[in-house]
Amino acid sequence: MDGSRASWANTTHDWAGTVDTVHLAQIRQNPAQFAPGGLEHLVLEVVAYAADEARSRGGGRCVVTLHADGSLSVKDDGRGTDTRTDEHGRVVKKPVMATKDLRYFDLPEAERLPDGHPRRGMSVVAALSEWLIHTNRRLDGSWTQRYEHGVPVTDLEHVGCDGTTGTCVRFLPNRALPSLCSSATRDPARWSEHWPELTVRLKDQRDDVDRSAP
């Protein structure tokens, strides 16, 4: 979609914003409130977006990978994060990482994740991660961008198309968060029960375990 950014409808995030430092700081100052239970909640915040895509398309898949360096990634087969061109010819991606999700952040009663806690949005993951890399593949182009503590530290960097679409979010959670490793190895089948349109597969590269939901 081209045209004035002011004409773009705000459905999940405010297109007029890029980085909301006050919002990110609020999350970092209250990790127990925004990531109760630690790592599993961060993973579920990301998987929830894959579930949104699966629901809109009548089905979808995602792979959650626990990497040997302590980071995690969630990769889905959706359409990719909405990316547009403004009236000045500049590429603009929806600011999902560094601004609040308008549907959930200030309305914690709106949706509960499988862990029973409120959904707040992807910015919670970005703010509570040492670093996060967002790789986006769409039919009209692919790019990647790196964040540190929720703030982008690179511009959108082009990556070659590989014939697929979807989003991969890889992040290293803040090491101060409690009980990280144990909670992330729970059976992902219950996540698929919560989101029946989404098939979730869990790969643990720390011990070469592959757990797939039936």
Q: Which residues are annotated as catalytic?
A: 45
Length of the chain: 214
Q: Rounded to the nearest 5 degrees, what angle is found at the Cα of 82, between the Cα atoms of 158 and 119?
A: 115
Q: How far apart are CA 171 and CA 179, in angstroms?
A: 16
Where is 23: in which H helix or E strand?
helix 21-29
- 3-class SS at 140? coil
Strands 198-204 and 60-66: parallel
Tokens of 85: 């061109």
Q: Which residue has the tokens 């509960």?
A: 112
